[in-house]
Structure 1
Amino acid sequence: MSKQYIKQLIERKTDQSGLIETGIQGVQLFRVTDSMRCAPAIYEPAAIAILSGEKEAILDGQHYVYDANQYMCCPITMPVEAGTPNASKTNPLLGVYISLDTKIMTELTMELERTSGTLRRPKSSAALPPSLTLSHWDAQFTDALLRLLQLTDSPEDTAILGRSRLRELYYAILKGDAGNAARRAFGVGNEIARTIEFISSRLDQNIDIEEMAERAGMSRAVFHRKFKHATAMSPLQFLKSMRLNSAAMKIASGMNISQAAIDVGYVSPSQFSREFKRLYGESPKDWNHVKHTHVM
Structure 2
Amino acid sequence: MPEGHTLHRLAKAHQRRFAGAPVAVSSPQGRFAAEASLVDGQVLVRAEAYGKHLFHDYGPHGTVHVHLGLYGTFSEMKLPVTEPVGQVRMRMVGRTQWTDLRGPTRCELLTSGEVDAIMARLGPDPLRRDADPDKAFARISRSKTSLAALLMDQSVLAGVGNVYRAEVLFRHGIAPMLPGRSLDSALWKDIWSDLVFLMRDGVRTGRIDTVAPEHLPEVMGRAAREDRHGGEVYVYRRAGLPCYVCGTPIAHSELVGRNLYWCPHCQAS
Give the TM-score normalised by the residue count of structure 2.
0.29
More helix by share: 1
Using CA pairs under 8 Å that are at least 6 residues apart, name the structure with larger relative contact order, 1 or 2: 1
Give the TM-score normalised by the residue count of structure 1.
0.28
